[in-house]
Amino acid sequence: MQVSSRLSAVRLTDYYLGGAAMPSRIVESLTTTPVMSELFSDQSVLTAMLAFEVGLARAEAGLGVIPASVVGVIEEAGRAELYNADALAADSLRSGTASIPLVKALTERVRAIDPSAAGFVHWGATSQDVTDTAIVLVLRTARDILHADLTRLESALYRLSEQHAGTVMLGRTLLQAALPTTFGLKVAGWLGAVRRNHARLHAGFEEAIVVQLGGAAGTLASLGNQGIAVGHALARELGLRYPEAPWHTHRDRLATLMCAFGVMTGSLGKMARDISLLAQNELAEVTEPAGHGRGGSSTMPHKQNPVGCALTLAAAFRVPGLVATFLSGMVQEHERAVGGWQAEWSTIGAIVQATGLAISTMVEVTEGLHVNIARMRENIDATRGTVFAEQAMMLLAEKLGRDVAYKTVEEAVRESIIARRDFVDVLAGMTEVTGVWDTSLLKTLRSPEGYLGMAEDLRRNLVSEKRREPSG
């Protein structure tokens, strides 16, 4: 399938969502998805770079800066499939940027069609204008792909939380049994984080998706008094916003977006960590969806590994360092930098692809997650009632004072653990307790549903909170 570089603007979302085949790259196989791999492929990047050149010619011709007759020739030569990506990549190592060899190759193709048009290729632009605008065009398509996956993830989490609003489970603090909570509240916490991060990504994309046109030193001098007008026209051609001024060495917009990717991946990593811990055999409260070739072991047929969580956690481990790499490159010299922006392409590509993998993987995990409600109850029962220790202490404190109540309950918990006896039975046999409590009050300590506090109210707060997109 060919992707036209003609665009009245590069809108490649439909092409990428169509599921193009993933290049065979074993080293990268656990770092991206087929759709994201294709988005950052040579063909895609060339398409975006050539879209800049075609869009620039159209914009300038419309303002009379270059002859209108050359536009068709540049469009004809501006098709990505005409260029050898391997040769351009090799030449990029010598020129320091992919745009220089591409502009040279484009100029030669235009010259072969119409020699008089060759002199108007790349008119008034600089190499960084091409690369910066190309990555913005790729990011715009990434935004649409990620938005679709995040919307699907939010829907799956919402359904899961609603389904398990009343499913009681152990809350765990410092990896130890704490108090009863609900699985619905836990899932709603994941949902709230995803929605907040979705809004942050949306805001970051809105700010970062702007055209770059500054010319050699960011003054647009080669375009005379038409520079800003050409910039606006180019932005319209490509469907981008036009910034206040060129941003060659001001990378704050992209940096903010990359940080939003980092926070998103961290939140997804937290979700994956929770699920993988709950999936341990000792807990067995949830299980990832199974399937042919998914989650197996090369030597242990009995295993069902949480591979989705593993991939998401791997992304969460990698992305913070990549974000730090981008931030370190923000310190750029004067009007055009040496080394800073050249480091960004691969860094941005790695961040976006890793985040895309984490999102799509957690969609699959959430939509197919098996929740073992019975096992959740069994794990509560396995504590022999010690999870009601705080409840018992608060009730006793009304009669004995908090300090005495705490020591009394602490002693009962210790005896329950050592003697492997039910906590409430131990408590009922203590003279300090029988003197102030009746049997009916002790019975309230055997129902986890009776000590959930505001869990359902908090869950409803989280699931009812909609993702807010900034205006404008």
* Lowest-confidence pick of 61-65, 293-297, 418-422: 293-297
Beta strands in 368-453 (DSSP E): 370-371
Which residues are known catalytic residues? 297, 336
Query: Contact at 8 Å (CB) between 151 and 424?
Result: no
CA distance 169 to 389: 16
Question: Taking every pair of C-alpha atoms in the chain, what is the biggest distance, in angstroms?
Answer: 104
Q: What is the mean pLDDT of residues 63-87?
A: 96
Q: What is the mean pLDDT of residues 359-370?
A: 97
CA distance 363 to 381: 32
Given the structure tokens 């010690």, which residue do they identify?
Answer: 386
Q: What is the mean pLDDT of residues 375-379?
A: 97
Identify the CA nearest to 315 among candidates 371, 370, 254, 272.
Answer: 272
Tally of CB atoms within 10 A around 221: 12
Residue 446: band (very low, low, confident or very high) from pLDDT cuts 50, 70, 90 = confident
Residue 431: band (very low, low, confident or very high) from pLDDT cuts 50, 70, 90 = confident
Residues 6+ apart with CB under 8 A from 408: 393, 396, 400, 430, 432, 433
Say whether pLDDT at 454 is over 80.
Answer: yes
CA distance 52 to 156: 38
CATH class of this structure's domain 126-210+247-382+454-472: mainly alpha
Residues 6+ apart with CB under 8 A from 219: 227
Average pLDDT, rounded, for the chain: 91
Q: How far is CA 161 from CA 194, 289, 303, 376, 380, in A?
A: 14, 17, 27, 15, 20
CA distance 139 to 349: 9
Question: Given this model, what pLDDT does residue 400 score?
Answer: 86
Question: Given this model, what pLDDT does residue 193 score?
Answer: 98
Q: For the chain, which residues make up each domain, given as ranges?
A: 1-125+219-238, 126-210+247-382+454-472, 384-437
Say whether pLDDT at 129 is over 70.
Answer: yes
Residue 443: band (very low, low, confident or very high) from pLDDT cuts 50, 70, 90 = confident
Q: What is the mean pLDDT of residues 211-231?
A: 97
Fold of 1-125+219-238: Fumarase C; Chain B, domain 1 (1.10.275)
- State pTM to two decimals: 0.90
Q: How far is CA 134 from CA 14, 62, 88, 299, in A?
A: 18, 22, 15, 46
CA distance 339 to 344: 9
Query: Contact at 8 Å (CB) between 61 and 71?
Result: yes
CA 48 to centroid of chain Cα atoms = 23
- The H or E element spanning position 102 is helix 99-113
Residue 22: band (very low, low, confident or very high) from pLDDT cuts 50, 70, 90 = very low
Q: Within 164-251, where are the H helices?
A: 183-208, 227-238
Partners of 398 in beta bridges = none
Beta strands in 122-175 (DSSP E): 168-173
Q: How far is CA 190 from CA 162, 197, 277, 285, in A?
A: 13, 11, 15, 17
Query: Contact at 8 Å (CB) between 353 and 322?
Result: no
CA 115 to centroid of chain Cα atoms = 47
CA distance 35 to 47: 16
Say whether pLDDT at 294 is over 80.
Answer: no
Query: Contact at 8 Å (CB) between 424 and 442?
Result: yes
Say whether pLDDT at 1 is over 50.
Answer: no
CA distance 7 to 241: 16
Question: Given this model, what pLDDT does residue 283 score?
Answer: 96
CA distance 177 to 281: 16
Which residues in 280-300 are b (16+ Cβ under 10 Å) and which e? eeebebbbbeeeeeebbeeee
- How confident is the model over 90-114, as pLDDT tens digits? 999 888 899 999 999 999 999 999 9
* Lowest-confidence pick of 135-144, 213-222, 247-256, 462-471: 462-471
Say whether pLDDT at 19 is over 60.
Answer: no
> What secondary structure does DSSP assign to 141-154, as a single string?
HHHHHHHHHHHHHH
- How confident is the model over 156-201, as pLDDT tens digits? 999 999 999 999 999 999 999 999 999 999 999 999 999 999 999 9
CA distance 91 to 310: 38
